[in-house]
């Protein structure tokens, strides 16, 4: 096949590379446009609310600890009132477990143990469990895991 026949067939090498190059630029440009549009689209992180209802005061027996592992919180009712503890271990953030037979809150991962009031009984955790806000609103207890309160704070109800 001579040069003249190649030009007439439309399949010469130069045209193939030219078309392939334009196609690659088109794909690259389209990909860049998609990434740019995605960059400007807001990324909203839907997290559960930090304040939530846990029940009515009469739902919790006196001198009891009720664990809500889904929300990572313990509701403690004493003879005086209520307080809430974070179930997140202060060592490495593991979720602790209430061991009723031992009367302690224990970290199953690294062996830390805490008293019923959240005080540190055995390391390696460096601090006691966080005491978090609890309040009574419209006859129901509401816990807010975002608000940390003093260690002697108690809701009298």
> Average pLDDT over the chain, rounded to whole?
85
Domain ranges of the chain: 3-40, 51-148
- State the Cα–Cα distance between residues 133 and 76, nearest whole angstrom: 12
For position 55, what pLDDT does the model report? 85
DSSP code per residue over 109-151:
TT--EE-TTS-EEESS-SSPPPEEEEEEETTEEEEEEEEE--T
Write out pLDDT tens, residues 2-14. Answer: 556 655 555 688 8
Chain position carrying tokens 């130069």: 14
pLDDT (tens digit per residue) in 90-107: 888 888 988 888 888 888
Q: What is the dihedral of CA 59, 62, 63, 69, to 10 degrees?
A: 10
Q: Report which of residues 71 and 45 the model is more confident about.
A: 71
CATH code linked to domain 51-148: 2.102.10.10
Under DSSP, is residue 97 helix (H, G, I), strand (E, B) or coil?
strand
């Amino acid at each position: 096949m001579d040069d003249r026949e190649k030009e007439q067939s439309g399949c010469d090498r130069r045209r193939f590379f030219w078309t392939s190059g334009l196609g690659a630029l088109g794909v690259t440009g389209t990909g860049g446009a998609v990434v740019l549009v995605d960059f400007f689209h807001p990324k909203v992180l839907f997290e559960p609310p930090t304040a939530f209802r846990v029940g009515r005061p009469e739902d919790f027996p006196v001198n009891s600890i009720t664990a809500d592992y889904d929300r990572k919180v313990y509701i403690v009712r004493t003879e005086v009132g209520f307080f809430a503890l974070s179930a997140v271990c202060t060592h490495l953030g593991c979720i602790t477990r209430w061991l009723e037979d031992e009367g302690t809150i224990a970290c199953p991962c690294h062996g830390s143990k805490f008293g019923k009031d959240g005080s540190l009984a055995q390391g390696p955790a460096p601090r006691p469990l966080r005491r978090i806000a609890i309040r009574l609103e419209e006859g129901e207890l509401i816990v807010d895991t975002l608000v940390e309160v003093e260690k002697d704070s108690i809701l009298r109800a």
